[in-house]
Amino acid sequence: MRLGYARVSTEDQSLDLQIDALRKAGCAEIYEDHGVSGVAVDRPAFAKIMRALQPGDELVVWRLDRLARSMFDLIDFLRTMRRGEVIFRSLCEGMDTSSPFGEAIYAVASIFAHLERSIIIERTRAGMAAAKARGVTFGRRPVLDSAELREAAYLRSLGMKVPAIAAQIGVGRSTLYRYLHALEQMPGFADADIG
């Protein structure tokens, strides 16, 4: 069966052009997402058509950008289609995965997606290295700063119980146990002046 998918991003846009083209292409059913962004995770009609597709079916879109907003999304989608033995066609780009030319386009798109992913990873690593060289630290901000940790260690040395200290400082007990345990493992902790 040949199924069509049409989408516009805003409520004031019309689906007429896409629907006319999909009907002309022989789509038995057309699933419509109206006023749904291409980057939205929740696309009701798209989810419906994906459930409806069976091996041997054909999914047709008017243009690739109605379906995927990035090369990564497109390649992931095409892999899903291939695994499900579903043919994919895009009318404007003339892409048809049932033809040798369509397969070639898929292969080239995969290569470019891999290249793009590699470049992004390389840029990210270079940017992080440069930031580290400038003294930037990455990761979550510690729950306790050094003054709070000193206060907690001091109260603990006075014999105060961890639940009471945690309540006073405003952190969870398990967090405080973890910080105190890490502090106690540090060399020279027993001789340190924490008061």
**Could you read off the pLDDT of 4-32 as tens digits, one per residue?**
999 988 877 889 999 999 999 999 999 99
Whole-number pLDDT of residue 195: 47
Taking the C-alpha atoms of residue 43 and residue 129, their distance in angstroms, rounded to an integer, is 38
In this predicted structure, the answer to whether residue 72 has a pLDDT above a threshold of 50 is yes
Reported pTM: 0.57
Catalytic site residue from 9, 90, 98, 110: 9
Reduced to 3 DSSP states, what percent helix, strand and coil does the chain have, rounded to the nearest 5? Answer: 50, 10, 35
CA 176 – CA 168 distance, rounded (Å): 11
Contacts of residue 106, defined as CB under 8 A and 6 or more positions apart, other chains included, come to 78, 82, 97
Q: Which two tokens stand for residue 111?
A: 């290569």
- Other C-beta atoms within 10 Å of 175: how many? 14
Q: Which amino acid is at 110?
A: S
Is residue 118 part of the annotated active site? The answer reads no
Place of tokens 């939205």: 40
